[in-house]
Amino acid sequence: MAFITSESARQAVAARAAVTAQNRPNLQAAQALARQKSLEKKSQKYKLPLGELAIFTQQLSSLLNAGLPLVQCLEALQDQTEDPVFRIIIRDVRIDISAGNSFSSSVKKFPRSFNSLFTSMIEAGEASGALAEILAKVAVYFESSVKLTKKVKSAMTYPIAVIGLAFALVNVLLIFVIPVFAAMFADFGAKLPAPTQMLIDLSNFLKHYFFYLAAAGYGAYWGLGKFIATPRGRSMKDIGLVRAPIFGNLIHKIALSRFCRTYATLMRSGVPILRTLEIVASASNKVQIEAACVEISKHVSQGGQVSDVLATNPFFPPMMKHMVKAGEATGNVDGMMNKIADFYDTESEATVSSLTSLIEPLLIVFLGVIVGGIVMAMFLPIFQLGAVAGGLK
């Protein structure tokens, strides 16, 4: 009987294993299909990083220059792209082109992945028949933008990390370490020095209301984000950033460089000037440049020149106004704009280097004052131990 029961159990286990093995491919196929649908849904709102777009543009330009058809180029880029969402986007663009649609109309279906500058340059390349050459110019523009952004971010990483670490250290001292000293000082039964008492009071306040302060800080951050999203808040933010005491000059130079580089790239590729100004305004991400582009568009539509508006706008420095006017006189505005962009790129890099050199000693002084002040305030009663413990002066 035991043998029969054991044999039946083995057969049941084998049957279940066979069913599981049969169902495993179906399960894997269902999981793959669900993952594919999730990627396709995400591709509609996917924001492609500018660095990835620069690489894609450069590779596409190189393949087109090699003589490959556009659909075949996209197929090759689809196979070698590591980003699964971007691979779906390239696939959809390739299928759309194979169905008879233009490249520009296909990429316009993914506005968050392909920005207005890219789509407008594609339109210009299709109209002129020089798509590969224009894509190469766009790739250079994207690469220069990414390079400058990386330099600024790398310069800002160090001070942000140090300030964040100092903030965390100070909170740990105030919430966990100082109460231990406060309990010890309470046994002295004498009046503590004013700096020490203030620090203990601050520690007690943070210990009891830390979560309320954190919630208030998060609420303020959320409210500020909502306010900045409004036109008035965005205008105040952009004006305040440019006027900031330390980083304002750098932000101003980067904005001027982006304005000139975008304008020159679009004009050199044959994009109409009014369309160029629209793209420059949207790519600038600064209300000052957006307002200037609207004013320039109106002035140019009436037969005026770009330099006339720049001459009356305080956001643009005199050097830029004179160089643009000279470019208009010689018929080489895009060339002058490129030179101005190169100049401000160099200036921005120099400013980043000088700020990095300036921030390091400032951070050392900041940490010394904050942490050193806390340590001195807590050890001050110990230095006066005899007077505090005995109540003598």
pLDDT in tens, 97-113: 998 888 888 988 888 88
Q: What local confidence, expressed as pLDDT, does residue 392 receive? A: 44
Q: Is residue 198 part of a domain?
A: yes
Are residues 71 and 189 located together in one domain of the fold? no
How far apart CA 204 and CA 364 sit, in angstroms, is 28
Last residue of a domain, one of 114, 131, 164: 114
Are residues 278 and 389 located together in one domain of the fold? yes
Going 139 to 53 to 114 to 310, the CA torsion angle's sign is: negative
Are residues 100 and 153 located together in one domain of the fold? no
Are residues 207 and 306 located together in one domain of the fold? yes
Q: Report whether 203 contacts 192 (CB < 8 A).
A: no
Are residues 102 and 246 located together in one domain of the fold? no
Are residues 240 and 312 located together in one domain of the fold? yes
Are residues 92 and 241 located together in one domain of the fold? no
Last residue of a domain, one of 96, 114, 132: 114
Q: Is 0.75 surpassed by the pTM of this model? A: no
Q: What local confidence, expressed as pLDDT, does residue 217 receive? A: 86
Separation in Å, CA 351 to CA 247, 285, 318, 321: 9, 21, 20, 22
Domain count along the chain: 2
Q: Is residue 20 part of a domain?
A: no
Q: Is residue 1 part of a domain?
A: no
Are residues 169 and 103 located together in one domain of the fold? no
Are residues 69 and 155 located together in one domain of the fold? no
Q: Is residue 127 part of a domain?
A: no
What residue ranges of the chain have pLDDT lower than 70? 1-33, 188-190, 384-393
Q: What local confidence, expressed as pLDDT, does residue 221 receive? A: 87
pLDDT in tens, 357-392: 777 788 888 888 888 888 888 877 777 665 544 544
Structure tokens at 302: 């009436």
| Domain around 189 | 143-393
Are residues 348 and 230 located together in one domain of the fold? yes
Distance of CA 112 to the CA centre of its chain: 14
Separation in Å, CA 229 to CA 116, 171, 220, 294: 21, 31, 14, 21
Q: Is residue 130 part of a domain?
A: no
Are residues 88 and 154 located together in one domain of the fold? no
Q: What local confidence, expressed as pLDDT, does residue 385 receive? A: 62
Are residues 185 and 65 located together in one domain of the fold? no
Q: Report whether 89 contacts 107 (CB < 8 A).
A: no
Q: What is the CATH number of the domain that holds 65?
A: 1.20.81.30
Q: What local confidence, expressed as pLDDT, does residue 276 receive? A: 86
